[in-house]
Structure 1
Amino acid sequence: MRVFILAGEPSGDKLGGALMAGLKALKPDVTFEGIGGPVMADEGLESRFDMAELSVMGLAEILPKYRALKARINQTAAAVVEMQPDVLITIDSPDFSLRVARQVKAKSDVRCVHYVAPTVWAWRPGRAEKMARFIDQVLALLPFEPPYMEAAGMRCDFVGHPVVAEPVATQAEALAFRARHSLGEAPLLLVLPGSRQSEVARLGPVFQQVVARLVREKPELRVVIPAAAPVVGAVRRLVQNWSVPPVVLNPLDSDVADPVAEKRAAFRAADVALAASGTVSLELAASETPMVIAYDMNWVSRQVIGRMVKVDTVTLVNLVSETRAIPEYIGANCRPGPIAQAVVKVLETPEVQEAAMALAMQRLGQGGEAPGLRAAKAVLDGISRN
C-alpha cells in the first residue's frame, strides 16, 4: 500500500505521525511519501521539503511568499499524480493542502482524504460544498462535525481528538510542581494569553488588569504563565510590572529536564485558568482544571467575524459537551471587571464545570482507541469501500 501524506504545521505533524503509526500497525507493508515534520519523520517519512516553508500560510504573510508557495503547491500535486498512490492524505493547513488536493483530483482519480474538518459549523458553511468537489473523505476531530461534511456529499468519520491521547500529570506531579516553585497551598491561577505575538499584545494588558483585581481581593493568589515558545519574550516584558510576580514557564529552558511535563504539571496544579480561546480549553479539561475563556480582536475583525459566526459560544468544551458551563468573554465583552468576577466565582465553585469537562473528554474519545489508530482504520475502510 502506498500513501502520499502531507502536513504543513506542527499540530498536523503530530496528527500525521499518529496516523502513520496506525497505518503501519494495520498494514505493515505500507510506504509513505510526502511532506511533514519531525514526528512524521520518526515514522519513516522523508519529507520532500522542509515543512517550515508552509508556516507562512496566514493572511498577513501569504502575499510576499505567494509565488514560492504556489510553486510548492504545483510541485506537490505533480508528485502525487506521478506517484498514483492508493490515497492522498492532507492534514489541516487548508490554504496549502486543499489546493494540492484540488489539482490532484483535476488530473487523476486518486482518493483524497482530508484530516481535520473545517469549522463550517461556526462560520463560512460554503467551504464544505467547495471541498466536496475534490475531497472524498474527511477525518473529523469533533463528534458533531460529520453531519456537516456528509450533507455536502463527503464521507466523514469522527476519529477522536488528539488531546485524549496526550498524557496528563498526576496529583503527585502537581504537588511536586508547587514545591519546586515555592507555591505552597496558595490558590493558583494559570494565565494563558495565547501563542501569537498579536494575541499577547492584545490580551496581555487585559489579563494584567484581571490579575491586579484578583490580587486585591485574594492577596495570597499566585500566578503561573506557561508561555508558548514564540512569545516567551513578549510574556516576560508583559509581566515586569505585575502586582504579583508570576512564574513564567519557558519551553526552551535548558535547565528544565522536560518542559512539556512541566507544563502538564502546571495545568494540573492550577485551581483555575484564565485562557485565550482555542484548543487550550480541551487541554485544561483533560487536566480537570476549571477555566474562564477570554479573547479579543481589532474592531474590524469584530464586525466581520461577528456577522459571520453561527454559534453562541466559541469554547470547545461548551460545544462538545452541549453546555455553556465555561464562562467566556469575547470581543467587546473582554473586559477586566467581569472577567475577574468570573474567575473568583470559578475559584469558589469549581465543581460547576466538572461534569461538562468530563463529558467533553468522553465525547472526544477518552478511554477508547487512540485517535491515530481510529483514523487509520477509517482511511483503510474508505479505500476498501471505494
Structure 2
Amino acid sequence: MPDSFFHPPGHEEAHGRVIWLLAGEASGDVIGARLMVALHAQDPDLVFAGVGGGRMEALGLRSLFPMRDLAVMGLVEVLPRMRQLSQRMLEAVQDIELRKPDMVITIDSPGFALRLLKRIEHSGAKRVHYVAPQAWAWRAKRVKKFPGLWDRMLCLLPFESDWYAARGLEARFVGHPVLQSGVKEGVAERFRMRHAISSDAPIVVLMPGSRRSEVPRLLPVFRKMLDLLRLKHPDVCPVIPLAPVMAPVVRAMIRKWPVQPVIVTDVHDKHDAFAAASCALTKSGTSTLELAMGKVPMAVTYRVNPVTAFFARRLIKVPYVAMVNLLAGREVVPELLQENCTPQKLADTVSQLLSDENAVTAQRDAFAEVLAKLAPPQGTPSEAAAREIMSLLNAT
C-alpha cells in the first residue's frame, strides 16, 4: 500500500497535491477505490482524504466518518436521518476547509454530494462529480440547479453526454465501472465446492440491495417467494450477495427461514456465485449490469415506502427502471415493481427462468448488446476517469 495515499490534515503540501473524495454507498466505494489506483498510477505523489468505505480504506484512506451514515435513499426514508446527515455535511465542509485540497471529487450519492459541492463553491478546490445524476430518469428540472456545481462531470452511460449537452451542460462519458468488476472471472464449480452445494441444485441469487432502507422491504417478500418456488423446485438453493456492512442485518432477518440462504460478502465469492447461478432476482441498479456481465438471467424487483412510490411515479420519466432495459431500449428482463413485487409473481417469474431455455437465451443475447455500449474509447473506465481528472488538475 503506497504510504502517500494518506496524510493527516496540515501535512499535505510536503507530500503532493491533495484530492478529497466522497463516496456515499457501496458502489461508490468500489468506483472510488479503482479511481484512487488509476490516479496514483498517473501521479504517485497524490494524497487522498475524505469519506469512503472498506475498499477505499484498504488503500489508505482514513474515512472522516463511516460511509454507511450516508447510505440512505427514498423521500420518506431519509427524514429520520436528517439531523445526522446535516452533522455529517458540516464535518465534511469543515474538513475540506481545514485541508484545503486541490480537488474535491464526489462520487454518485447526489442527494449529499451536490449539496456538498455547493457548500464548498468558494473553497478554491476544483470540483468533479463522478457518476452523472440521473436527471434524465426523474426530476429533470433539477438540471437548472446544476450550473456552477462542478468544474467537470463524468458520466457512466453513453447517452448521458448528449442528454446533458442538450440542456447546456457538459458531461464526459468515461465508461461504466461494471466492465472492471471481474464478474467474468467467476468459477461455478469452486462456488459449489466451497459451500457444499450439489451439482444439480439450481442456484437462485437474491439481491435485496445495499442500503438499510431497501433490505427490510425486499427480504420478507423473498422468503415467501422461496416457499412458493420450492413447490416446483424443491432443491433450489438461495444465495444472497451482500456488502459486508449489511451482513449482520440480513443474518438476523433470515435466522428463522426454513432453508438458510448462503450469505456471500466476498467479491470473488460473489463472482463465483454468479457463474454457478441459474437465475437471479435483484433490485434495480448497477446489480443488473453485474449480473448481465455474468450472463445470469434475471428479473428486477423493487419495493419502497408507498408515499415514496406515489411521488416517484409522478416524477419518473423513463419507461424502465432496470439499466439493462434502458440501454437495450426494450424490456429484456421482467420488472416487478411495488404492487407487482409479490411472492407469487416473483415465484412464477423465477420458475420460468429456471425452466424456459428460450427466455434465458434471449436475455443473454441482449446482455452482450448492452455491455458493448458501456466501454470508453480507450482503456478502462477508471483510467478514462483518471485522465479527465488529471487534465483538470493540471490545468492552470
TM-score (norm 2): 0.82
In the alignment, structure 2 segments of 5+ residues that lack a partner are: 1-15
- Cα deviation, residue 22, structure 1: 2.0
Residue of structure 1 in register with 2:81 after alignment = 62
> What is the alpha-carbon distance in structure 2 between the residues aligned to residue 205 and residue 51 of structure 1?
27
From the superposition, tell whether residues 179 and 366 of structure 1 become closer, same or farther in structure 2 (CA, over 3 Å).
farther
Which among 296, 307, 316 is matched to residue 314 of structure 2? 307
> What is the alpha-carbon distance in structure 1 between the residues aligned to residue 145 and residue 47 of structure 2?
30
Instruction: For residues 290-334 of structure 1, give each alpha carbon's deviation from its aligned partner in whole angstroms, at most 9, with x where no partner exists.
Output: 001111122212211111111121111111232311001001221
- Equivalent residue runs for 1:311-326 within 5 Å: 311-326=318-333
SS at match of 1:62: helix
Is 1:369 the counterpart of 2:379? The answer is: yes
SS at match of 2:285: coil
- Equivalent residue runs for 1:276-295 within 5 Å: 276-295=283-302
Instruction: For residues 202-250 of structure 1, give each alpha carbon's deviation from its aligned partner in whole angstroms, at most 9, with x where no partner exists.
Output: 22332223222222123343332334432544455436344xx243225
- Equivalent residue runs for 1:207-226 within 5 Å: 207-226=222-241
| Matched-pair identity in % | 34
> What is the alpha-carbon distance in structure 2 between the residues aligned to residue 38 and residue 340 of structure 1?
35
> What is the alpha-carbon distance in structure 2 between the residues aligned to residue 331 and residue 57 of structure 1?
19
From the superposition, tell whether residues 366 and 357 of structure 1 become closer, same or farther in structure 2 (CA, over 3 Å).
farther
Asked whether the equivalents of residues 174 and 269 of structure 1 are also in contact (C-alpha less than 8 Å), the reply is yes
Residue of structure 2 in register with 1:74 after alignment = 93
Is 1:105 the counterpart of 2:124? The answer is: no
Which among 131, 150, 154 is matched to residue 169 of structure 2? 154
From the superposition, tell whether residues 68 and 304 of structure 1 become closer, same or farther in structure 2 (CA, over 3 Å).
same
Asked whether the equivalents of residues 200 and 235 of structure 1 are also in contact (C-alpha less than 8 Å), the reply is no
> What is the alpha-carbon distance in structure 2 between the residues aligned to residue 125 and residue 45 of structure 1?
34
Is 1:138 the counterpart of 2:153? The answer is: yes
From the superposition, tell whether residues 360 and 61 of structure 1 become closer, same or farther in structure 2 (CA, over 3 Å).
farther
From the superposition, tell whether residues 360 and 366 of structure 1 become closer, same or farther in structure 2 (CA, over 3 Å).
farther
The aligned amino acid for 1:145 is E
Asked whether the equivalents of residues 21 and 48 of structure 2 are also in contact (C-alpha less than 8 Å), the reply is no
The aligned amino acid for 1:318 is N
Instruction: For residues 78-116 of structure 1, give each alpha carbon's deviation from its aligned partner in whole angstroms, at most 9, with x where no partner exists.
Output: 246x45x2x4322223344323322332454x4321111
From the superposition, tell whether residues 272 and 127 of structure 1 become closer, same or farther in structure 2 (CA, over 3 Å).
same
Asked whether the equivalents of residues 197 and 234 of structure 1 are also in contact (C-alpha less than 8 Å), the reply is no
> What is the alpha-carbon distance in structure 1 between the residues aligned to residue 230 and residue 37 of structure 2?
47
Residue of structure 2 in register with 1:191 after alignment = 206
Asked whether the equivalents of residues 192 and 275 of structure 1 are also in contact (C-alpha less than 8 Å), the reply is yes
Is 1:176 the counterpart of 2:190? The answer is: yes
Is 1:16 the counterpart of 2:32? The answer is: yes
Residue of structure 2 in register with 1:255 after alignment = none
The aligned amino acid for 1:62 is R
In the alignment, structure 1 segments of 5+ residues that lack a partner are: 252-258
- Cα deviation, residue 133, structure 1: 2.4
